[in-house]
Amino acid sequence: MKITDILKKSTILVQEHVGSKDAALTLMIEALSKSGQISDSVEVARVVWEREKIMSTGIGKGFALPHGKTNSVSETVGCFLTLDVPIDFNSLDNLG
């Protein structure tokens, strides 16, 4: 599988301004929903937040890999987001 199999142009968001982890996840899920890659954005949000409650997906050095698994998605999909200003993502290295 190649990254181009997962990311679509409409799910690559660059230099966005969001003020919180919640806003970032919401923006990403909305992009996936608008792209037609997910059938139930409420369910996707639920499983992504369920995963975040187990442990932050902020892996450190300004990177996070939020994810979840649900039948509302028939194949692996992704959204790439960069921010104009860093936000606190409760990362494991406590740097964002």
Q: Is 67 an annotated catalytic residue?
A: yes
CA distance 8 to 17: 20
CA distance 16 to 18: 6
User: Measured at the alpha carbon of residue 5, what is the angle toward residues 37 and 58, in degrees to the nearest 5?
Assistant: 75
Instruction: Work out the angle between the directed axes of helices 21-34 and 41-54 (0-180°, nearest 10).
Output: 140
What ranges in 10-87 are assigned the alpha helix state H? 21-34, 41-54
Catalytic residue among 63, 67, 92, 95: 67
Catalytic residues: 67
